[in-house]
Structure 1
Amino acid sequence: MTAWRIRDQHADDIGGFLRLWEQLTEAQAEPVYNLAEVLASCAQDHAVVAVAGEQIVGAAVGRTAHAQGWVVFLATAPGWRGRGIGSSLLAALEARMAPLGISVLSALMPAAETRIGAFRHQGYELKNNLHYFERRIPVQKEELRLLAELGGRVLPRGLWEGVGGMEAEKELLERRLVMPLAKPELAERFGVAPPRAVVLFGPPGTGKTTFAKAIASRLEWSFVEVFPSRLASHPLGLAGALRETFAAVSELERAVVFIDEVEEIASHRQGDPPSPTQGVTNELLKLIPTFREQPDRLLICATNFIRALDSAFLRHGRFDYVIPIGLPDAAARAAIWERYIPTVAAASVDLGRLVDASDGFSPADIEYAARRASQTALEHAVYSRESDLEGPTTAEYTAAIAATRTTVSQKVTQEFREDIAALGRV
């Protein structure tokens, strides 16, 4: 019988590790830790191998986290099992990790794994009634530097759920954008091509930027907002800056790119000689088809003045959808008001009166009126010294509504309805 021995892992043992990994995955369910994690621990943490002559016939890899140690990989080559190699590898791994101050050494195994004798022989206890939870971090470390250079960020989770009111718009965006992008395999099965670029249009203050951020949060993709005004000072000019920005975005794994007030760089091309923005519009029109060829990307352009956009910009093939985001209806206004009315005042405020009085308000208008009423109520409580005051009253809210100048005029509202009929594509 060929003798085997245990030693520390060397850098040139990588080939032997890969063979063991292939043999292990062919014989059972995928290990809990993936190959990249195991190889990273080989290089940075603790690893021992069993060798017979020059051949690697077994390996064990462990890592430590404070007082906790983890066995992230244990394998014995076929034909060498049943000789105590697994138990010896675990013993050697423990000998190297114990001096680091760990108080417990644990291992996670696939449910299909039946070869657990080495662990039992070394005194490991099988813990029943345990659940293993795992969450993949959506944006990896190597992407964060590039994301910072682009001025992008990873938005907090929960923004989508936090969008109050505007349920009709939210449901439309969920069905058209979020669902196909979040479930690409299912979309492909039904012949649905996930969207690559959309336009959100509507009056100012209706929540287009909020929706763009909420979509990125819902998908857990990086969010990169492009500010034309900031790119204008680039040495290569605005067109060159756009080209560089889109090239950098292509290196991210998943990303939502948002351009607000896109009419600034995609307005009607006219005039002889050409206007200074015509070259920028041409560049953006060339960038969009290339952007669309990349998976896991979504370009969201928002505009308050869709009529100002160049006709070629909205052509089929560039944007999958042209979605209107309008003023909130009564149900949406009620949901928005509820978000800003303090809990202590909610029972006494006549919500119906506020909803009726704020007809024609944008979400931003409602927020302004609500905060104005709260400020008035605070000042009244402080300076009147009335101890029984419990937050803003209906009268204070209606006074704040009356003092609020609406963002959207009747003329703009009418033009928006016309734009939905003429240009909307949902």
Structure 2
Amino acid sequence: MASWRIRDFHTADLDGILHLWEIIKATGVEPVYALSEVLASCEKDYAVVAMHGDEVVGAAVARAAHDQGWVVFLATSPGWREQGIGAALLAAIEKRMAPHGLTKLSALMPETETRVEAFLNNGFELKKNLRYFERQIRVHRQELGPLSELGGRLMPRDLWDLVAGMKREKELLERRLVLPLAQAELAEEFGVVPPRAVVLFGPPGTGKTTFAKAIASRLEWPFVEVFPSRLAADPNGLAGALRETFLEIAELEHAVVFIDEVEEIASQRSGGAPSPLQGVTNELLKIIPAFRDQPGRLLVCATNFIRALDSAFLRHGRFDYVIPIGLPDSEARAAMWRRFIPAAVVGQIDVELLVARSAGFSPADIEFAARSASQRALEKAVYEQAVNDEPAGADARRGPATGDYIGAIAETRMTVSAEVAQEFLEDIDAIARV
């Protein structure tokens, strides 16, 4: 058989790498590293190929992490096996990585892979009693720049669980939004088209922004908030800045895009002469269909005044769902109180009484009252002792009591009036789409 030679990887060898990858997949073996990772390391890390004439008959790809190297791909064409190509490729890749000062060269292989002689013949040891753990990170390295420029970020992974109470709303968002987006292939089998845009509406302080962030956390997608007030200062004007922002968002593979108080740029248009604001509304109406054509992203708009939105903005085809986020019920209020009461004293607090006294409170109201109660209890513990010439903190009861919370509730001005709460119920009947 004609001879082969080893050389460094060239960009023109990509087709050969893809062919080797397809050969491995055809055998039913699932590679440890994704194709995108292998191709990225070919260009940026270390890669060598075995050539027979102009044909790529083998390849080894590796990367370095601190003082340890990892072989991420090793393959030989079927007709060229048992020729020592695998061992030669490993020796060549190790030589290329030597200047990095590695103390260890490692490889992870699928459990079903049986062709391991190249590793054993090249001095690798098979380690027993090891387990491989992996989780996917949704943001790729090349996306970090655009994401930073947009002011986007990844939400804490536990944010969804930290949203206390609101069980009805969470279940609805989980079923309608998270499920079809997180399991897109399964959704496709059932003929479900994943949502691309939704509106959250409800009284102020009910947690619409928190829910938008929690959705991003649940999906593990970057969260990008678009601030119309900041875009207005752009030299291109608000409409132009909005268009450019969404073009930049298109560079991300996944994103939850959030626009709060969307009524500022999508309010009812009058029949009079066009205004600058009407131009912004028109621009947003053009942006949404293009946004909907891009998979792996979700637009979440929030408003306290759903009646103020332009009717064309809310129509079918632009927004999949118009979801109400209302005041917490008693179960949700109980969960919120327990979240904000210090763990050391929660067992001594009459939470049921707090729930009863805080009917009509928004999540923001409950948090404010809880923080106020803690602050007042702290001041009482410190300054009343000082008046009595006792050492600060000596034998003091640690934490607020039920009375502190009741007092704070009584002095908390509710965000949502009875009139606004009633209008919200009417809007649910007339506008909601779930």
Q: TM-score under structure 2 normalisation?
A: 0.90
Larger CA deviation: 81-90 vs 14-23 = 14-23
Given residue 9 of structure 1, which amino acid in structure 2 is its aligned partner?
Answer: D
Supply the distance in 2 between the matched residues of 1:12 and 1:214 (Cα, whole angstroms). 41
By how many angstroms is 1:163 displaced? 0.7
By how many angstroms is 1:191 displaced? 1.5
Determine whether 1:400 maps to 2:399. no
Give the secondary structure class of the aligned counterpart of 2:332. helix
> What pairs with 1:366-381 in structure 2 (closer than 5 Å)?
366-381=366-381
- Report the CA distance shift for 1:279/1:348 in structure 2 as closer, same or farther (over 3 A): same
- Report the CA distance shift for 1:23/1:292 in structure 2 as closer, same or farther (over 3 A): closer
Determine whether 1:11 maps to 2:19. no
- The residue number in structure 2 matching 1:283 is 283
Supply the distance in 2 between the matched residues of 1:220 and 1:156 (Cα, whole angstroms). 9
Determine whether 1:183 maps to 2:183. yes
Supply the distance in 1 between the matched residues of 2:430 and 2:51 (Cα, whole angstroms). 74
Determine whether 1:238 maps to 2:238. yes
Determine whether 1:31 maps to 2:40. no
Give the secondary structure class of the aligned counterpart of 1:347. helix
By how many angstroms is 1:13 displaced? 6.9
- Report the CA distance shift for 1:111/1:194 in structure 2 as closer, same or farther (over 3 A): same
Q: Which runs of 4+ in 1 moved over 6 A?
A: none
Q: Identify which of 391, 416, 420 aligns with 2:424.
A: 416
Given residue 11 of structure 1, which amino acid in structure 2 is its aligned partner?
Answer: H
Supply the distance in 1 between the matched residues of 2:87 and 2:271 (Cα, whole angstroms). 81
Larger CA deviation: 303-312 vs 366-375 = 303-312
Can you list the C-alpha shifts for 1:97-156, whole angstroms capped at 9, x where unaligned?
456443332211122211112222333222233222222321112222222222322222
Can you list the C-alpha shifts for 1:45-91, whole angstroms capped at 9, x where unaligned?
44444455665543333333223222222233333322333233334
- Report the CA distance shift for 1:87/1:328 in structure 2 as closer, same or farther (over 3 A): same
- The residue number in structure 1 matching 2:396 is 388
> What pairs with 1:145-294 in structure 2 (closer than 5 Å)?
145-270=145-270, 272-294=272-294
- Report the CA distance shift for 1:137/1:406 in structure 2 as closer, same or farther (over 3 A): same
- The residue number in structure 1 matching 2:388 is none
Given residue 218 of structure 2, which amino acid in structure 1 is its aligned partner?
Answer: R
By how many angstroms is 1:325 displaced? 0.6
Q: 8 Å contact 1:381–1:387 — kept in the other structure?
A: no
Given residue 338 of structure 2, which amino acid in structure 1 is its aligned partner?
Answer: E
Q: CA RMSD in A?
A: 2.3
Given residue 429 of structure 2, which amino acid in structure 1 is its aligned partner?
Answer: A
Larger CA deviation: 339-348 vs 248-257 = 248-257
- Report the CA distance shift for 1:39/1:290 in structure 2 as closer, same or farther (over 3 A): closer
Larger CA deviation: 37-46 vs 408-417 = 37-46
Q: 8 Å contact 1:165–1:333 — kept in the other structure?
A: yes
Q: 8 Å contact 2:365–2:415 — kept in the other structure?
A: yes
By how many angstroms is 1:27 displaced? 4.0
Determine whether 1:131 maps to 2:131. yes
Q: 8 Å contact 1:28–1:113 — kept in the other structure?
A: no
Supply the distance in 2 between the matched residues of 1:61 and 1:400 (Cα, whole angstroms). 63
- The residue number in structure 1 matching 2:391 is none
Larger CA deviation: 321-330 vs 15-24 = 15-24
Q: Percent identity?
A: 68
Q: TM-score under structure 1 normalisation?
A: 0.92
By how many angstroms is 1:389 displaced? 1.1
Q: List runs of 5+ in structure 2 lacking aligned partners.
A: 386-393
Given residue 425 of structure 1, which amino acid in structure 2 is its aligned partner?
Answer: R
Larger CA deviation: 126-135 vs 217-226 = 126-135
Give the secondary structure class of the aligned counterpart of 1:359. coil
Given residue 219 of structure 1, which amino acid in structure 2 is its aligned partner?
Answer: L
Given residue 408 of structure 1, which amino acid in structure 2 is its aligned partner?
Answer: V
Supply the distance in 2 between the matched residues of 1:234 and 1:95 (Cα, whole angstroms). 53
By how many angstroms is 1:407 displaced? 0.3
Give the secondary structure class of the aligned counterpart of 2:224. strand
Give the secondary structure class of the aligned counterpart of 1:365. helix
Aligned residues: 425
Give the secondary structure class of the aligned counterpart of 1:115. coil
- Report the CA distance shift for 1:50/1:349 in structure 2 as closer, same or farther (over 3 A): same
Give the secondary structure class of the aligned counterpart of 1:179. helix
By how many angstroms is 1:411 displaced? 0.7
- The residue number in structure 1 matching 2:306 is 306
Larger CA deviation: 390-399 vs 17-26 = 17-26
Supply the distance in 1 between the matched residues of 2:429 and 2:400 (Cα, whole angstroms). 41
Give the secondary structure class of the aligned counterpart of 1:211. helix
Supply the distance in 1 between the matched residues of 2:216 and 2:401 (Cα, whole angstroms). 37
Given residue 415 of structure 1, which amino acid in structure 2 is its aligned partner?
Answer: E
Supply the distance in 2 between the matched residues of 1:258 and 1:332 (Cα, whole angstroms). 24
Q: List runs of 5+ in structure 1 lacking aligned partners.
A: none
By how many angstroms is 1:36 displaced? 4.0
- Report the CA distance shift for 1:38/1:283 in structure 2 as closer, same or farther (over 3 A): closer
Given residue 142 of structure 1, which amino acid in structure 2 is its aligned partner?
Answer: Q
Supply the distance in 2 between the matched residues of 1:345 and 1:134 (Cα, whole angstroms). 39
Give the secondary structure class of the aligned counterpart of 2:270. coil
- The residue number in structure 2 matching 1:338 is 338
Can you list the C-alpha shifts for 1:148-181, whole angstroms capped at 9, x where unaligned?
2223222222211111111111111111111111
- Report the CA distance shift for 1:16/1:194 in structure 2 as closer, same or farther (over 3 A): closer
- The residue number in structure 2 matching 1:88 is 88
Give the secondary structure class of the aligned counterpart of 1:79. helix
By how many angstroms is 1:8 displaced? 4.2
- Report the CA distance shift for 1:307/1:3 in structure 2 as closer, same or farther (over 3 A): closer
Supply the distance in 2 between the matched residues of 1:273 and 1:95 (Cα, whole angstroms). 73
Q: 8 Å contact 1:205–1:407 — kept in the other structure?
A: yes
Determine whether 1:116 maps to 2:119. no
Q: 8 Å contact 2:11–2:43 — kept in the other structure?
A: no
Larger CA deviation: 349-358 vs 272-281 = 272-281
- The residue number in structure 1 matching 2:73 is 73
Larger CA deviation: 365-374 vs 282-291 = 282-291
Supply the distance in 2 between the matched residues of 1:276 and 1:56 (Cα, whole angstroms). 60
Q: 8 Å contact 2:197–2:318 — kept in the other structure?
A: yes
Given residue 146 of structure 1, which amino acid in structure 2 is its aligned partner?
Answer: P
